[in-house]
Amino acid sequence: MPAKELEGIVGAEHVREAAPEDAVDGVQPSLVVEPGSVEEVGAVMRVAHREGLAVIVRGSGTKLGWGNPPAAADLILGTTRLDKVLEHAAGDLVLRVQAGVRLEELQKRLAGAGQMLAIDPPHPGATVGGIVAANASGPRRYKYGTIRDLIIGIKVVLADGTVARAGGKVVKNVAGYDLSKLFTGSLGTLGVIVEANFRLHPIPKAARTVAVELESPRAAREAAQAIMHSQVEATAVELHWSEEERLLSVLVESIPEGVEAKREAAAFLLRPFGEVRELSDEEAGALEPVLQGDGGEVPVKISAPPAELEDVLEELFGAAGRRGVGVRVRGHAATGVTYAGLRGGEEEIAALVEELREIRVRRGGSVVLLGGSPELKRRVDAWGPGGDYLGLARRVKEKFDPRGILGPGRFIGGI
Is there a single domain that holds both residue 345 and residue 397? no
**Dihedral of CA 225/229/232/235: which sign?**
positive
pLDDT digits (tens, 9 = 90+) for 318-328: 999 999 999 99
Average pLDDT in the chain: 94
User: Is 380 within a domain?
Assistant: no
We report the CATH number of the domain holding residue 255 as: 3.30.70.2190
Q: Flag the least confident range among 31-40, 101-110, 121-130.
A: 121-130
| Residue 113 included in any domain | yes
Summarize the chain as % helix, strand, coil (round to 5): 40, 25, 35
Same domain, 16 and 162: yes
In a domain, 311, yes or no: yes
Phi and psi at 283, nearest 5°, equal -65, -45
Write the pLDDT tens digit of every residue in 90-113. 999 999 999 999 999 999 999 999
Cβ–Cβ < 8 Å for 224, 248: yes
Task: Write the CATH number for 122.
Answer: 3.30.465.10
307 and 215 together in one domain: no
CA distance 189 to 187: 6
CA distance 340 to 288: 12
The verdict on 139 and 70 lying in the same domain is yes
Residues 171 and 237 reside in one and the same domain: no
Total of domains in the chain: 3
Q: At what angle do helices 256-270 and 217-228 cross, to 10 degrees?
A: 140
Do 334 and 223 sit in the same domain of this protein?
no
Ramachandran region, residue 93 (left: φ > 0; alpha: ψ -120 to 50; beta: rest):
left
Q: Which H/E stretch holds residue 223?
A: helix 217-228
Per DSSP bridges, beta strands 55-58 and 75-78 are parallel
Range of the domain at 195: 1-203+386-409
Residues 154 and 21 in one domain: yes
CA angle 126/58/154 to nearest 5° reads 75
What percent of the chain shows pLDDT beyond 70?
A: 96
Q: What is the mean pLDDT of residues 127-151?
A: 96
Q: What is the pLDDT of residue 292?
A: 58
pLDDT digits (tens, 9 = 90+) for 355-390: 999 999 999 999 999 999 999 999 999 999 988 889
> Looking at residues 55-83, what average pLDDT do you find?
96
pLDDT at 398 over 60: yes
24, β-bridge pairs: 27
| Residue that finishes a domain, picked among 285, 316, 347 | 285
pLDDT classification of 9: cutoffs 50, 70, 90: very high
Q: Are residues 6 and 70 in the same domain?
A: yes
pTM: 0.93
Q: Are residues 145 and 251 in the same domain?
A: no
pLDDT of residue 172: 53
User: Positive or negative CA dihedral for 44, 49, 55, 57?
Assistant: positive
77 SS3 class? strand
Q: What percent of the chain has pLDDT over 90?
A: 90
Whether the per-residue pLDDT at 291 is higher than 80: the answer is: no
CATH code of the domain covering residue 304: 3.30.70.1130
Domain presence at residue 257: yes
Q: How far apart are CA 152 and CA 2, in angstroms?
A: 36
Query: Given 285, 315, 339, which residue is the final one in a domain?
Result: 285
pLDDT of 149-189, one tens digit each? 999 999 999 999 999 999 876 655 545 557 899 999 999 99
pLDDT in tens, 260-272: 999 999 999 999 9
Q: Is residue 157 part of a domain?
A: yes
d(CA 184, CA 190): 10
Q: What is the pLDDT of residue 174?
A: 47
Establish if 198 belongs to a structural domain: yes
Exposure on the CB side of residue 321, measured as CA atoms within 13 A: 8
Asked if residue 396 and residue 356 are part of one domain, the reply reads: no
Helices of type H across 52-127: 103-111
Residues 290, 297: Cα–Cα separation, whole Å: 8
8-state DSSP, 22 = G
Report which of residues 174 and 30 the model is more confident about.
30
Looking at the domain assignment, is residue 41 inside a domain?
A: yes
Question: Does a structural domain hold residue 199?
Answer: yes
Q: Where are the alpha helices (DSSP H) in 23-101?
A: 38-51
Q: Please give the full DSSP string across 243-310, using - where no structure is assigned.
A: SS-EEEEEEEEE-HHHHHHHHHHHHHHHGGGS-EEEEPHHHHHT---STT-GGG-EEEEEE--GGGHH
Same domain, 72 and 164: yes
Domain match, 68 and 166 both = yes
pLDDT at 290 over 80: no
